[in-house]
Structure 1
């Protein structure tokens, strides 16, 4: 059992431990204050005073961290110094070396990723690099003596130019989703430029032929294939393309033959129809605003036989009640009775005013008058009288109840200014 002395000893030790912990906490806080008040290195101090937005802007002006092209100025001429320095690296060396660098980048994009638009841009940069004048010597580096074999350098440049033209032609050939005709034209121009440098470039002949085929320029496509085969008579790709072009040529020829035959058939049918109408003394006239009825037309039973049965589209008018019926094929040997017998009774005729015995039929004459059309006469008898005409290929017949005929005729004359 603990004595009073033991309890006092324990309490004294606990108090000492608490004092020690408080001392350590105080020292830690003082150290933090001292560290916070200590001056930072100049670079870190500058970042500490910069907002997050300004820091991101600054990083975007550094080529390594760029997410967009920033060319705002910080140098004497107002350009982004770091960016311009990085750009300059791409143009270090001779024209051939610079062009070759761009060519290799374009080729890598084609070979590995099929990124034809970006590859085309690199080939264009390579071709532009071959056209730029030599860089002037750097005055800071002093005079430099560099011996260059100009003939060898020129051969190298021509080889790079030829390759870039042919490869850019490939890019244009593959980029057919948009502006296809423009791309095929660019392909042909690049192939032509490459062939001026080297007429033996079979790839250029092949790609030129492919572009011409895509544009259906068959003679030019065949000529390009034959020209390529002169230099490589066993080239499998050119032979296969030649067969494809010949098949297309045969297909286009067949389409042209069918088109010409169809046109000749239409011409013959129209001439036969005119002869049939003339032989039957049927007058016709066209207006500036014909009705839109592409399937309804005057037609012969045999389109190339003027003596075969002739049919007309006919519109039956019920002017008193503002109603109509349409007969697509009214044969010349049929009468109004033949058709009215199945048209009557009319679904809207509540008063039963329309029947074969209670109606009269009228047709307008060439002089804008009226003629009574016999219901039992054939259509040809009516149209061949020389008094009527078919306007815009459509025969019009008005059907009026007998007890309203007089009033309707009077109204018709008033509309025509006959009274």
Structure 2
């Protein structure tokens, strides 16, 4: 995702400080020494060494370096510190979470920021009013909650955008715009997320609405330019796709018309179709011309030897012997049983029987016969040696009879 120029965050103003330094000592050493000196002056641990005092200090919740410092026993002070974030009214607790989230954003800790914003939202959505302090001014409290609800959702949308949780970004922005339809950040972040999902037209709509709210907003204008550029590309792609769909539709209509005009029967089945790659019934050379010739994918089946050959384009003007002359002799026919003059050709009939067809008859004449059909877009022709034909027909009758 290309970095987007971000709008300023709510409360997102950086703070800085400089700690006093001492000659020959680091800032951290000076800070620790200062704490120790003040503690001694106040009589906190005058009878303890510096190391013992520092050890005790590390057990205080505010100065813990890890949870292990709390020991195995429950640290009551730590639990009390955790509870502080829930003290006060709902708006005060939610404000606390918002501020912590903003601090995480400044440090680009996106996942942590999301946790804090989500907690703030959960506070506002909580139905357990008794858990929070009762506000002195209920009306003012409601106003604060509404403002915080908007800010927490729009801030979490920023985080979700950074984490590439685009759908969550859109949902958060949707919540914001229900509260405040004029929130520019929600428009910007929603448009950014939609753009990332390549929902270009939706992104354009949201971006235009945002520009109307703030015509001088440069990040929004930059985003709009990028979306418009992608929109032009997408429009051209859509135009080509529609043209291709229209062309394909016309080709299919012409193909169906040609097949019906020739009285050829087509039928589909629930059987698994053989893998024919891109082979299909088609009109050549021009699929849009009624004067073109039909071609059919065709399978030569050798049932007495469980073998077959595939012909990708069998013209309606061709006869079977023309293709047999190319196929024969067969590389696996060690006995030389398959020869053009000694083979017979059969096709399945619509009634479930078998019909002998002439090798020198054009395919169109065979297919236009009311007794045969093209199943699953594939012409099937059984090739059987004359010496084995009676045996094959007898076995076929018994098999189909069962």
RMSD of aligned C-alpha atoms? 3.8
C-alpha distance in 2 between matches for 1:203 and 1:387: 71
Matched residues in 2 for 1:346 and 1:211: separation?
62
**Structure 2: stretches of 5+ with no match in the other structure:** 1-58
**Separation in structure 2 between the aligned mates of residue 342 and residue 103 of structure 1, nearest angstrom:** 80
Superposed, 1:342-361 pairs within 5 Å as 342-361=326-345
Task: Label 1:206 to 1:289 Cα distance change in 2 as closer, same or farther (>3 A).
Answer: same
1:269 is matched with: 251
Select the residue among 145, 157, 160 that pairs with 1:172. 160
Match for 2:106 among 103, 111, 115?
111
- 2:115 paired residue among 112, 116, 121: 121
d(CA) in 1 for partners of 2:348 and 2:145?
85
Q: Contact between 1:290 and 1:392, CA under 8 Å: does it hold in 2?
A: no
- CA offset at residue 119 of structure 1? 0.7
Gaps of 5+ in 1: 1-58, 75-79, 138-147
Residue pair 2:104, 2:113 contacting (<8 A) in 1 also: yes
Mapping for residues 172-251 of structure 1, pairs under 5 Å: 172-176=160-164, 180-190=166-176, 192-193=178-179, 195=180, 199=182, 201-215=183-197, 218=200, 220-251=202-233
Tell me the CA shift for residue 239 of structure 1. Answer: 1.0
Structure 1 CA distance, aligned partners of 2:293 and 2:379? 17
1:137-177 Cα offsets, whole Å, 9 max, x none, are 9xxxxxxxxxx99999988877666544432221122222x
Match of 1:289, SS state, is coil
Q: How many residues align?
A: 338
1:317 pairs with 2:315:
no
Provide the residue aligned with 1:16 in structure 2: none
Are residue 387 (structure 1) and residue 387 (structure 2) matched? no
1:88 aligns to 2:72 (yes or no)? no
Q: CA deviation digits over 1:233-273, x for unaligned, max 9?
A: 22211111122233343344334333333332222222211
Confirm or deny that 1:334 pairs with 2:322.
no
Deviation of 1:192 after TM superposition, in Å, equals: 4.2
Structure 1: distance between partners of 2:141 and 2:383: 96
Which structure has the bigger radius of gyration?
1
Contact 2:173 2:186 in 1 (8 A): no
Q: Which residue of 2 aligns with 1:64?
A: 64
Change (3 A) 1:108 1:312: same
Distance in structure 2 (CA, Å) of the matches to 1:410 and 1:158: 86
Q: Normalising by structure 1, what TM-score? A: 0.68
Per-residue CA shift, 1:360-413, capped at 9, x if unaligned?
Answer: 222223333333322222211222233321111111112222222233333333
Quote the Cα distance in structure 1 between the aligned partners of 2:268 and 2:89.
77
Q: Matches of 1:362 and 1:251 in 2, distance apart? A: 54
SS at match of 1:357: helix
1:84–1:415 Cα change, 3 Å = closer
Q: Structure 1 residues 94 and 368 mapped into 2: Cα distance closer, same or farther (>3 Å)?
A: closer
Distance change in 2, residues 1:109/1:409 (3 Å): same
Q: Is the 8 A contact 1:166 1:191 kept in 2?
A: no
